[in-house]
């Protein structure tokens, strides 16, 4: 299938939405860097209904996680859907606390990411100046969804490069490694999820998920 060109990073490398592994990726040659699918950038995107069926209805919120990623948001909320796991990065907000140079520096990448992925080199000076002048610290709050928001999932995936979806059909094994959860996929590198807050609740929900009938046959080592 094809893929969607969305933006260019500070290294002028385009990111694409892969229709096989449902991740925004920097291609390796003409292939997805995650699942190795050939990316045909000239092919049109499937209709929204196709993504809706692939993702399925939203079932529940599992919790806040940290995921190791390059050039993309690495902290957000993990949701379980009828057909897999849906990661939604936090959204930008502002706190009332005065900003200081150190806080501004550590917030720049996330702030730029929130600006619909405008080229980093262009907006960096303007963003930094704006943060210092506003005397506000950018903070990132969970984007909370309810079951009735299922229709938003494909739109979020197609419009936000920070979002990714892991279909349960592509999961070979899920296992717990102390507080971390490792997801081995049929194609692509393992995905490691580190719960941030509410770790006991996160561990319980993940264990319930992988032992549920919908996920039957997938391992869970606790």
Q: Which strands sit side by side in the sheet containing 24-25, from one edge to the other?
A: 3-8, 14-18, 24-25
Q: pLDDT by residue (tens digit) across 145-165? A: 999 999 999 999 999 999 999
pLDDT value for 6: 44
Q: Mean pLDDT over residues 38-47, rounded?
A: 80
Q: Is the pLDDT of residue 191 over 90?
A: yes
Cα radius of gyration (the chain): 18
Cα 83 to chain centroid distance, Å, stands at: 16
pLDDT value for 57: 95
Q: Identify which of 164, 167, 108 has the alpha carbon closest to the alpha carbon of residue 132.
A: 108
Bigger pLDDT: 96 vs 157: 157
32 in Cβ contact with 4 (< 8 Å): no
27 in Cβ contact with 39 (< 8 Å): yes
Q: Supply 108's token pair.
A: 């720049």
164 in Cβ contact with 22 (< 8 Å): yes
pLDDT value for 8: 38
CA-to-CA distance for 13 and 33, rounded, in angstroms?
Answer: 13
pTM of this structure: 0.74
Identify the structural domains of the chain with CATH numbers, from first to last: 3-90+142-215 (2.30.29.30), 92-141 (no CATH)
35 in Cβ contact with 25 (< 8 Å): no
């Amino acid at each position: 299938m094809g893929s969607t060109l969305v933006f260019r990073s500070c290294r002028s490398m385009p990111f694409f939405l892969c229709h096989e592994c449902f991740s925004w990726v920097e291609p390796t040659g003409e292939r997805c860097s995650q699942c190795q699918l050939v990316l045909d950038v000239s092919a049109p995107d499937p209709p929204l209904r196709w993504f809706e069926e692939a993702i399925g209805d939203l079932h529940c919120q599992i919790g806040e996680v940290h995921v190791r990623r390059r050039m993309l948001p690495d902290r957000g909320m993990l949701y379980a859907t009828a057909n897999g796991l849906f990661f939604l990065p936090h959204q930008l907000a502002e706190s009332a606390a005065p900003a200081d140079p150190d806080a501004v520096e550590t917030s720049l990448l996330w702030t730029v990411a929130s600006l619909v992925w405008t080229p980093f080199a262009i907006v960096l000076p303007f963003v930094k100046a704006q943060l210092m002048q506003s005397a506000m610290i950018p903070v990132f709050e969970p984007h909370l969804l309810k079951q009735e928001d299922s229709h938003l999932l494909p739109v979020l995936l197609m419009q936000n490069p920070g979002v990714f979806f892991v279909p349960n059909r592509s999961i070979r094994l899920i296992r717990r490694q102390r507080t971390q959860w490792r997801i081995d996929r049929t194609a692509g590198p393992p995905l490691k999820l580190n719960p941030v807050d509410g770790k006991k609740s996160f561990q319980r929900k993940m264990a319930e998920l992988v032992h549920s009938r919908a996920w039957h046959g997938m391992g869970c080592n606790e």
